[in-house]
Structure 1
Amino acid sequence: MNFIFFSPNFPRYCTEFCFHLKNCGVNVLGIGDADYDSLNEKLKYSLAEYIKIDRLENYDEVVRTVGYYIHKYGRIDRFESLNEHWLELEAHIRTDFNIYGTKLDFISNLKQKSKMERFFKKSGVASIRSITKFDRAKAKKFIRKVGYPVVVKPNQGVGANMTYKIASESELEHFLRTKPAEVEFIMQEFIDGVLQTYDGLVNKDGEIVFAASHEFPHSIMEAVNSGHHFSYYCLKEVSGEIEEAGRRILRTYGIKERFFHLEFFKSNADGSIIALEVNMRPPGTWMTDAINYTYDIDIYRLWASMVVHNWVGGPFAGKYYTGFASRKDHLPYAHGHEEILQRYRHEIVNHDSITDAQSRSRGNYAYQFRSKDFDEVKRIAAYIHAVKNKVGVSS
């Protein structure tokens, strides 16, 4: 199998995917914008060849490089980055070179939030009420129906960039005056609930061969707009209601041989499950590692085995709850780094700085920790996030 991995050096976990592809006998060919010498040794070992181009956004450069690889190695079996930012470029390349995977005629269904809602409706899963292409009058009419607050975000966007909660008419007016004219926004009702995910692997036959779930006590929107720190938990089990909703959506989409990351709200009002969005990529912010720590598996190896052999093994049972808690440099935390490591030396399984590209939302430094006791994991997150105030310590 000839597998072109686009931007194999970023995010960092791409190294693991490349490494396990190679160990499955795959010829892994890299295209990136980083110098070869800057790649880590594990990634260099994993790549049969690597070509640096000037700009990853330059489609002509990418096409010429793919053409070179075809001339040298023969048919290309896969073209992937496992990065949401490059979904459209990947689909374009697959379409132009007839490579297996999602093509251009379907990609907008995976990128535009308004189109996702149509699939949620077809699947019978409740979704957030929303409008697109709105002016002042249309926005006010929608708000009269759903009430304040509402959330506005790019209809086609990644993460929480340009995502805002609007709680009053003055905030609405400010948004309408200052929003970039070139960006199409979607306005959604605000759901008071807990964000939960359905993450995993679906094989070439459309069968879900692995699934996990994460819970977020803090939203990424909060972390970006308020400067707040950020946390989540990888759960030992997927709840039956998330499993059912996730399976329905994946069946409706007809997705095959993909990583998936679906987001839902569990309403605080009545416990109902409401679909938020679909991402056909690995979950970010170290969640692949959280899955590994929770299940004592190697999800990177399972993905490679699925791609090459259409088999992953299992069944897999969760053994721990794994927490993620990040800190931001501007906040006066009550407990120092060494104090955290000493107090929770048996529970902390990973800690590191976060790349600048993600630090605004995810934080500047983060810790991962696990325990068989969910309450203990929550206590560790609270300890890491405790900040000083004029009186003493505030959580």
Structure 2
Amino acid sequence: MHVLFVAPHFPAYQRQFVRSLKSVGARITGIGEADPAHLPGELKEWLDGYERVGNVCDEQALLDAVRRVQRRGWVDRLEATIEAHILPTARVREAATIPGLTVKQALLCRDKPMMKEFLREHGIPCARSMGTASVDEAEQFVREVGYPIIIKPRAAAGAAGTYRANNDAQLAHALRESGVGAGGSVALEEFIEGHEGFYDTMCIGGEVLHEFISHYYPNVLEAMRTRWISPQIAVTNRIDASGYDELKKLGRDVIQAMELGTVATHMEWFYGPKGLKFSEIGARPPGVGAWDLYCAANEFDLYREWAHAIVHRKGSQRPSRKYAAGMIALRPSADGRIHGYSGVDAMQGKFGKWVIDAHLPPAGTPTQPVDAGFMANAWVRLRHPDYDVLREMMDEIGRTLKVHAG
């Protein structure tokens, strides 16, 4: 099978997908922005060809590159795994008549108001929402739904550009910052109280091959706005517990409603006083290194399973569910440059056997803002057979391992 893979060079974890495709016998042509002379040696060895473009989100440039490859021989698949690349790649895929995620499916997974309207029509429980470029429409929606309200970009990943408004002044600020009334368009959503997590799958022909459930502590919006919090992501190994049955059914219902085929999915959810609510879906692997946690927790190579599903339309391994796994993000004490750390030796001495890996940038490294994401600064990843013990370990690391900066 000949697979075209978009952006094989950056971010660095993209190389895992190329590696896995090669390991299951695929021929791979990369399409990327990097100078081919500057590609890492191992990536050059895995790639059978490479097409350089100025911008992989430029649909015409991407299509031209695909056409060049097609003139040289048959292409079976065109794959992308980065959120911003999903829709441009789907449009090029349809124009070049290559099987895979369609433009309609990509749009539904990218445009949050369209996504929720579609899923509500298919009986999926979602927060009330709308998309608008009008201040008047936004204010009318708030009058109908009430505060708090969430304001977010129509097509964003994570909590980037997301606001919570509790009153008229905060709503006006959020709309102004989002450009509403000056050409910008946003998604408005009813605020759903409750615990937040995500449900990820690898599907073949619309059937779930592998599934994983993770929890946020605390919820993402709070985590991305509060410096003193050391936020956590925890992957459960209790996925067969009956308490997750409703969530797994919800995820499968979404996949069926959208008629998704052989694809990785990433779904966000809330559970609280209003019950289980679907939040959003991406037709791609999750960010924040979640697949690395799944691999470590389950003693298998999920990247290779993704490649095996695409190339051979079947899996080759079963997850062990032996471990729960998690990541804790460690925020610098202030913006500036990192001065050093305290508590590292104590962590290593107490929990070293359970540490998967850690990222502790050296002294002098410039800090990143709190809202830059879970992996923007320092972090530690761990695993343990007992989910509750894993949480206790991460809590203690959050209290005792400090990143000094200023």
TM-score (norm 2): 0.87
Shift of 1:191: 1.4
* Residue type at the aligned position of 2:373: S
Per the alignment, do residues 123 and 319 of structure 1 end up closer, same or farther by CA in structure 2, a change over 3 Å counting? farther
Offset of 1:102 from its aligned partner?
2.0
Q: Counterparts of 1:357 and 1:64 in 2: how far apart (Å)? A: 38
Match of 1:360?
A: 372
Distance in 1 between the 2:343 and 2:43 partners?
33
- Contact kept, 8 Å, 2:152 with 2:186, in 1: the verdict is yes
Q: Secondary structure at the match of 1:351?
A: strand
What does residue 113 of structure 1 align with? Answer: 112
- Match of residue 381, structure 1, among 387, 390, 394: 394
Tell me by how many angstroms 1:77 deviates. 1.1
The answer (yes or no) to whether the contact 2:86–2:106 under 8 Å persists in 1 is yes
SS in 1 for 2:187: strand
Give the C-alpha shift of residue 54 in structure 1: 2.8
Residue 192 of structure 2 is aligned to residue 191 of structure 1: yes
| 1:263 maps to which of 260, 268, 293 | 268
Query: What percentage of residue pairs aligned between the two structures are identical?
Result: 24
Matches within 5 A, 1:151-170: 151-170=150-169
CA contact (8 A) 1:212 1:237 kept: no
For 1:351 and 1:37, locate their aligned partners in 2 and report how far apart those are by CA, in whole Å.
31
Secondary structure of 2:310 counterpart: helix
- Residues 387 and 315 from structure 1, CA distance in 2 versus in 1: closer, same or farther, beyond 3 angstroms? closer
Matched ranges for 1:1-395 at <5 A: 1-72=1-72, 74-133=73-132, 135-180=134-179, 181-204=182-205, 206-227=206-227, 228-238=229-239, 239-267=244-272, 269=273, 272-313=275-316, 315-331=318-334, 335-352=342-359, 360-362=372-374, 363-386=376-399
Deviations 1:330-355 (A, max 9, x none): 45998433432333111101223699
What is the deviation of 1:359? 7.3
Instruction: Return closer, same or farther for 1:359/1:348 CA change in 2, 3 Å cut-off.
Output: farther
How far residue 135 of structure 1 moved from its aligned partner, in angstroms, is 4.0
2-structure distance, mates of 1:102, 1:358? 34
Equivalent residue letter for 1:279:
G
Q: Spell out, residue by residue over 1:208-255, the C-alpha distance to the aligned partner (whole angstroms, 9 max, x if none).
A: 111111111123323333344432101113311110111111111110
Task: Return the alpha-carbon distance in structure 2 between the equivalents of residues 381 and 304 of structure 1.
Answer: 32
Whole-Å separation in 2 of the counterparts to 1:56 and 1:95: 16
Q: Secondary structure at the match of 1:153?
A: strand
Answer with 349-358 or 288-297: which moved more.
Answer: 349-358
Moved more, 80-89 or 332-341: 332-341
- CA change 1:182–1:352 in 2 (3 A) is farther
Determine the C-alpha separation between the residues in 1 that align with 2:86 and 2:369.
Answer: 18
Name the counterpart of 1:392.
Answer: none
Change (3 A) 1:388 1:105: closer
- Paired with 1:92 and 1:357, the residues of 2 have a C-alpha distance of 34
2:364 maps to what in 1? none
- CA–CA separation in structure 2 for the residues paired with 1:16 and 1:361: 21
Report how many aligned residue pairs link the two structures: 385
| Residues 104-159 of structure 1: per-residue CA shift (max 9 Å, x gap) | 34432121111211332244221011122164444344334433221100122222
Task: Specify the code of the residue in structure 2 equivalent to 1:287.
Answer: A
Whole-angstrom CA distance in 1 between matches of 2:389 and 2:306: 31
User: Conserved in 1, the CA contact under 8 Å of 2:133 and 2:184?
Assistant: no
Return closer, same or farther for 1:9/1:340 CA change in 2, 3 Å cut-off. Answer: farther
Amino acid corresponding to residue 194 of structure 1 in structure 2: H
Q: Secondary structure at the match of 2:353?
A: coil
**C-alpha contact 1:122 1:252 (8 A) present in aligned 2:** no
Distance verdict in 2 for CA 1:364–1:121, change over 3 Å? same
CA pair 248-140 structure 1, distance change in 2 beyond 3 A = same
CA distance in structure 2 between the partners assigned to 1:387 and 1:347 by the alignment = 17
Q: 1:54 to 1:68 in 2, by over 3 A?
A: same
Q: CA RMSD in A?
A: 2.6
Q: 1:9, CA displacement in angstroms?
A: 1.7
1:351–1:275 distance in 2 versus 1, CA, 3 Å: same
Q: Distance in 2 between matches of 1:8 and 1:358?
A: 28
Normalising by structure 1, what TM-score?
0.89
